């Protein structure tokens, strides 16, 4: 009997050891998580038309390095500075602009310029975590709020020989020009201190859309104008040939003129008038700036004109006439 009791005690003891080995030892007691949102690192602010556009990104982690799933409150505050300055003292007098959908990620908050026109203001952002603990205020952004700049109006794009000429109406001192090719995203092209600009970087047979923005500096600009669209076409003829001469030879009239230098030049057309009659084309698309007219008759007076033609078939005006009389 004693042997059976001893075996039973040993088996119970071994089972207890097995349970203890599986459970391990309890660790230290940890404090509850505070879930304080991390500080917003950067706040950007600029005027765009009649709005102040505030942009920032709420970090995805708490100050304890855990994921931040949501916050109770995310707000932008704007107000004049205080003396002596401290962020907390300024925040107590600044106006709050809550941000909808307060979760980690990038945000944009629009604020009416009319609320702050003519004032020097400070702008900052703070989030309140799910347990009511606020983050630190972001480093404040300073902005002088100016009266809104009017949007440029009546923007027009014309196909001209150097490229595309833009004109618009506006009273600002400086403008930015944006351009897109086809349906691509507009990109900043140039700046102008006049209400016109010529884009000399275009190519023929492409569609361009232009938008114009008035601006004071990098932090104050108007809304962007409606687009002006143009499809560029080569409808521009070469320059008129110059210095045409007609010299009477043996049963010929020898013509010569200055050479065309256009990159798309194709050839010359030669025209002749006999005894004051209408000009008739007697040679077409010749390559050299010379021509020998051997179809002349004695006793008649001939006048000649020359034009230049490009690869698109655009023909220049006729040159100044040159005259010769056959003997």
- Contact (CB, 8 A) for 102 and 127: yes
Mean pLDDT throughout 284-294? 96
Strands of the sheet with 253-256, listed across from one edge:
245-248, 253-256, 290-293
In the predicted model, what is the mean pLDDT of the chain? 90
Q: Is 310 helix (H, G, I), strand (E, B) or coil?
A: strand
Mean pLDDT of 38-50: 96
- pLDDT (0 to 100) of residue 22: 46
pLDDT on residue 11: 54
Which CATH architecture describes the domain 153-231?
A: Sandwich (2.60)
Task: Name the CATH topology of 245-325.
Answer: Immunoglobulin-like (2.60.40)
pLDDT tens across 172-201, in order? Answer: 999 999 999 988 999 999 999 999 999 999
Please name the residues in contact with 208: beta carbons below 8 A apart, sequence gap of 6 or more. Answer: 157, 164, 179, 180, 181, 199, 202, 229, 230, 231, 232
| pLDDT over 50 at 15, yes or no | no
pLDDT of 108-143, one tens digit each? Answer: 999 999 999 999 999 999 999 999 999 999 999 999
How does residue 21 score in pLDDT terms, banded at 50, 70 and 90?
A: very low
**pLDDT score recorded for residue 183:** 87
pLDDT tens-digit profile of 147-159? 999 999 999 999 9
For the domain made up of 43-144, give the CATH fold.
Immunoglobulin-like (2.60.40)
Number of other residues whose CB lies within 10 A of the CB of residue 189: 18
Q: What is the pTM of this model?
A: 0.77
Q: 31 pLDDT band (50/70/90 cuts)?
A: low
- Residues of the chain within CATH 2.60.40.10 domain(s) are 43-144, 153-231, 245-325
């Amino acid at each position: 009997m004693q042997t059976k009791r001893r075996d039973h005690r040993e088996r119970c003891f071994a089972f207890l050891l097995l349970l203890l080995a599986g459970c391990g030892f309890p660790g230290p007691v940890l404090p509850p998580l505070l879930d304080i949102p991390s500080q917003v690192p950067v706040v950007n602010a600029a005027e765009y038309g009649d709005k102040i556009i505030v942009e920032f990104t709420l970090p995805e982690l708490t100050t304890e390095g855990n994921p931040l799933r949501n916050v109770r409150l995310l707000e932008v505050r704007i107000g004049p500075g205080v003396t002596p300055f401290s962020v907390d003292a300024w925040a107590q007098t600044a106006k709050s602009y809550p941000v909808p959908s307060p979760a980690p990620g990038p945000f944009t908050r629009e604020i009416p310029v009319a609320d702050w026109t003519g004032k020097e203001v400070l702008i900052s952002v703070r989030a309140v975590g799910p347990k009511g603990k606020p983050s630190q205020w972001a480093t404040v952004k300073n902005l002088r709020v100016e009266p809104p700049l009017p949007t440029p109006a009546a923007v027009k794009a014309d196909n001209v020989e150097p490229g595309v000429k833009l004109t618009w109406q506006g009273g600002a001192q400086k403008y930015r020009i944006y351009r897109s090719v086809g349906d691509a995203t507009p990109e900043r092209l140039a700046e102008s201190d006049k209400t016109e600009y010529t884009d000399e970087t275009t190519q023929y047979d492409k569609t361009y859309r232009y938008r114009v923005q008035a601006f004071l500096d990098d932090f104050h600009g108007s809304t962007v104008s409606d687009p002006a669209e143009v499809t560029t076409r080569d409808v521009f003829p070469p320059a008129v040939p110059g210095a045409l001469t007609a010299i009477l030879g043996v049963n010929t009239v020898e013509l010569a003129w200055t050479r065309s230098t256009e990159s798309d030049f194709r050839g010359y057309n030669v025209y002749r008038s006999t005894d004051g009659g209408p000009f008739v084309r007697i040679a077409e698309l010749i390559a050299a700036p010379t021509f020998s007219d051997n179809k002349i008759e004695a006793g008649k007076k001939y006048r000649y004109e020359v034009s230049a033609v490009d690869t698109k078939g655009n023909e220049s005006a006729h040159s100044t006439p040159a005259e010769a009389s056959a003997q």
